[in-house]
């Protein structure tokens, strides 16, 4: 059976499973549609949260990103897991105790203000659409790469599947499909990782193999450090970003993660406060399985790739792989254009080194090298893993299904918070308070449908700034939603003017800083280099400063204006205690 047919079968079977689950868990009330009737078991919710959170970027791109960033890649590992500690300790239990449906609803009631609620809805929609565009793109790419069909058709199929289970089942439908999707994606991620670890180090567990000795002697990381520095790259275990930048990017990603509405809302779906606490732990456990495997995969892949090219001592002519002798997987990926070789010095061999390193230039010239000849798209690291390890075709098919599962599960979660914000916060909450439950449910389904169409459009015509706006999504969440919720729970004194002023200040500062350097829609105003940055903090890390500004403004304005009304204070005291 050919690989394409096998991939169709595996991906098709996974789709049939998701759709089957959707029909079995149709939403009958708004409670089902927004929060799965609050009947979700904490372990199931942990799995669903993990699938919700781990996007196409986590599954496809992260290991490759770390492979080329080395230590600097730690910002993603710590940032995207540390946020769960904040969620578990500072937000989830109290929001569950609050007991309503959406994040803007909490902000609106806590700050007794429709304005605050609408500001929260706007932040939520910007954050979620930014994110969802990337997911739909991921679905399209996996389809076109593994199933050889046009990206547009791939997108249509993906949209159709999400439409079925998100519109029919609402939160109830996506919860149980996300559980299934987690199982598919984690299996697809760990199986190739285990085999690669075995091949390179003889140890089965990737997390252990990461710190083990490789065949031929020496520890994996020591060997990797040695070979990449010999080729002019920064040592794998030390990285190149400044300490303060690493600090603030990690902070912004952690706080941003905790402030992402589609993640927060998952903790509204469990029956009790103590389930919300436990569920965050389960979620982190399920996420950690992938997040501790990814850096191991990254290091193994970087070593694999480097030693495939640099077969002997650096600088000797025979030390480099002749182009004619390149392995089979190399050829497959060359066909996709994601891996390219250009024989710049015409010696018939491949040189892979850091030609941007001025200190290394003289040495390279000495060797007769005339520039780096290999370019590798970071995204292929995970996708090519099974081929590099020589695993059977069904594993390759599984990885394709895993990538699609990761993208669909995240997209569905995002689309649902968007539709809930429109039907529950805007329709029911602000503009049409007398709407009946049946109509509200219909409004939720319609807005989910419209959101899917818009997401599909964004996936098909990705705006040029998608890569830039990911920083924006986390920065926004860190500077607006997270502080507003946190202060709403932990301070009784923060009032409406304080919270609204704080959100706007954090928002404007963060968005302004990112646009200033990244130029979303408009041209950047200054070069995005360390010399121009405030305190040496890159736009990716500025959300942390935005959060501090939000806190400062919210406290000062609240101190100067009237205390919140008694019933709001009572509400805050109520949600602090489980019963």
Partner 1 sequence: MKKSSHWGDNLRLVAICLVVWFVVSFGCGILFVDSLNRFSIGGFELGFWFAQQGSIVVFLLVIVAYVVGMAVIDRRHGVAESDEAPPDDASSHSDTDE
CB distance 272 to 96 below 8 Å: yes
Q: At what angle do helices 437-460 and 393-420 cross, to 10 degrees?
A: 130
Environment class of 332 (CB within 10 Å of its CB; exposed 0-12, middle 13-18, buried 19+): middle
Interacting residue with partner 1 among 13, 437, 463, 535 (CB under 8 A): 437
**Beta carbon nearer to partner 1, 38 or 349:** 38
SS3 528: coil
Q: Does 579 bind partner 1 (CB under 8 A)?
A: yes
What is the CA angle 542-544-547, rounded to 5?
A: 115
Torsion, Cα of 386, 391, 392, 396 (10° steps): -10
Q: Does 82 bind partner 1 (CB under 8 A)?
A: yes
Residues 477-536 that bind partner 1 (CB under 8 A): none
Interacting residue with partner 1 among 2, 215, 243, 527 (CB under 8 A): 243
**Smallest separation, CB 349 to partner 1 (Å):** 31
Q: Does 73 bind partner 1 (CB under 8 A)?
A: yes
User: How many positions of this chain bind partner 1 (CB under 8 A)?
Assistant: 65
**Smallest separation, CB 347 to partner 1 (Å):** 35
**Beta carbon nearer to partner 1, 59 or 369:** 59
Q: Does 220 bind partner 1 (CB under 8 A)?
A: yes
Q: How many helices (H) and strands (E) does the chain have?
A: 26, 2
Residues 286-325 that bind partner 1 (CB under 8 A): 288, 291-292, 295
Q: Does 210 bind partner 1 (CB under 8 A)?
A: yes
Interacting residue with partner 1 among 77, 120, 321, 549 (CB under 8 A): 77
What is the CA angle 536-540-546, rounded to 5?
A: 80
Q: How far from chain centre, in Å, is Cα 130?
A: 11
Residue 341 has what DSSP assignment?
E
> Shortest CA distance to 344 belongs to which of 314, 309, 374?
374
**Beta carbon nearer to partner 1, 207 or 229:** 207
Buried b (16+ CB within 10 A) or exposed e, 147-173: bebebeebbbbbbebbbbbbbbbbbbb
Backbone angles phi, psi at 322, to 5 degrees: -70, 140
CB distance 240 to 530 below 8 Å: no
**Smallest separation, CB 207 to partner 1 (Å):** 6
* Interface stretch with partner 1, choices 53-61, 130-138, 177-185, 212-220 (CB under 8 A): 212-220
> Shortest CA distance to 175 belongs to which of 5, 328, 34, 7?
34
**Smallest separation, CB 193 to partner 1 (Å):** 14
**Beta carbon nearer to partner 1, 31 or 546:** 31
**Beta carbon nearer to partner 1, 295 or 456:** 295
Q: Does 400 bind partner 1 (CB under 8 A)?
A: no
**Beta carbon nearer to partner 1, 206 or 403:** 206
Q: Does 274 bind partner 1 (CB under 8 A)?
A: yes
Binding residues (CB under 8 A) for partner 1: these are: 27-32, 37-39, 66, 71, 73-74, 77-78, 81-82, 84-85, 88-90, 93, 97, 99-101, 207-208, 210-213, 219-222, 237-238, 243, 246-247, 250-251, 254, 271-274, 277-278, 280-281, 284-285, 288, 291-292, 295, 437, 573, 576-579
């Amino acid at each position: 059976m050919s690989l394409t047919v096998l991939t169709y079968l595996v991906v098709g079977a996974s789709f049939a499973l998701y759709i089957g689950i959707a029909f079995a868990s149709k939403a009958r009330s708004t409670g089902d549609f927004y929060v799965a009737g609050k009947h979700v078991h904490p372990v199931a919710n942990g799995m669903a949260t993990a699938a919700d959170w781990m996007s196409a970027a986590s599954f496809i791109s992260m290991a490759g990103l770390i492979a080329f960033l080395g230590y600097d890649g730690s910002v993603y590992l710590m940032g995207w897991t540390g946020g769960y500690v904040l969620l578990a300790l500072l937000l989830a239990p109290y929001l569950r105790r609050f007991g309503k449906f959406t994040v803007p609803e909490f902000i609106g009631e806590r700050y007794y203000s429709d304005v605050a609620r609408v500001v929260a809805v706007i932040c939520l929609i910007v954050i979620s659409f930014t994110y969802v565009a990337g997911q739909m793109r991921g679905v399209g790419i996996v389809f076109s790469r593994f199933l050889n069909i046009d990206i547009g058709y791939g997108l249509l199929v993906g949209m159709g599947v999400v439409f079925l289970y998100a519109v029919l089942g609402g939160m109830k439908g996506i919860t149980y499909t996300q559980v299934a999707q987690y199982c598919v994606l984690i299996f697809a991620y760990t199986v190739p990782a285990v085999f690669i670890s075995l091949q390179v180090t003889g140890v089965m567990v990737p997390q252990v193999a990461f710190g083990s000795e490789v065949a031929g002697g020496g520890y994996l990381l020591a060997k990797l450090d040695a070979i990449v520095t010999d080729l002019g790259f920064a040592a794998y275990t030390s990285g190149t970003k400044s300490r303060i930048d690493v600090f603030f990017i990690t902070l912004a990603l952690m706080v941003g993660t905790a402030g992402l509405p589609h993640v927060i809302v998952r903790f509204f779906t469990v029956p009790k406060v103590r389930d919300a606490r436990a569920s965050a732990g389960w979620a982190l456990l399920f996420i950690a399985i992938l997040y501790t495997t990814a850096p191991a995969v990254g290091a193994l892949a970087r070593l694999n790739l480097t030693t495939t090219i640099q077969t002997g001592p650096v600088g000797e002519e025979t030390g480099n792989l002749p182009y004619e002798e390149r392995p089979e997987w190399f050829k497959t990926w060359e066909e996709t254009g994601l891996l390219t070789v250009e024989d710049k010095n015409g010696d018939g061999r491949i040189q892979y080194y850091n030609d941007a390193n001025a200190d290394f230039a003289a040495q390279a010239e000495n060797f007769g090298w005339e520039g780096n000849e290999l370019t590798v798209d970071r995204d292929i690291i995970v996708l090519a893993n099974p081929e590099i390890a020589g695993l059977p075709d069904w594993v390759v098919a599984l990885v394709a299904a895993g990538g699609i599962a990761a993208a669909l599960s995240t997209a569905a979660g995002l689309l649902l918070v968007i539709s809930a914000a429109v039907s529950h916060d805007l329709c029911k909450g602000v503009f049409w308070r007398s709407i009946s439950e049946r109509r509200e449910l219909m409004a939720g389904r319609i807005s989910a449908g419209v959101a899917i169409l818009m997401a599909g459009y964004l996936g098909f015509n990705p705006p040029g700034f998608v890569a830039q706006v990911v920083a924006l999504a986390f920065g926004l969440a860190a500077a607006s939603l997270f502080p507003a919720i946190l202060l709403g729970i932990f301070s009784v004194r923060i009032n409406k003017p304080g919270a609204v002023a704080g959100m706007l200040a954090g928002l404007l500062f963060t968005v302004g800083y990112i646009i200033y350097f990244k130029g979303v829609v408009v041209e950047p105003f200054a070069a995005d280099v360390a010399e121009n940055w405030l305190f040496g903090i890159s736009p990716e890390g500025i959300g942390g400063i935005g959060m501090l500004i939000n806190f400062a403004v919210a406290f000062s304005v609240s101190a100067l204006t009237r205390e919140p009304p008694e019933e709001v204070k009572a509400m805050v005291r109520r949600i602090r205690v489980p019963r």
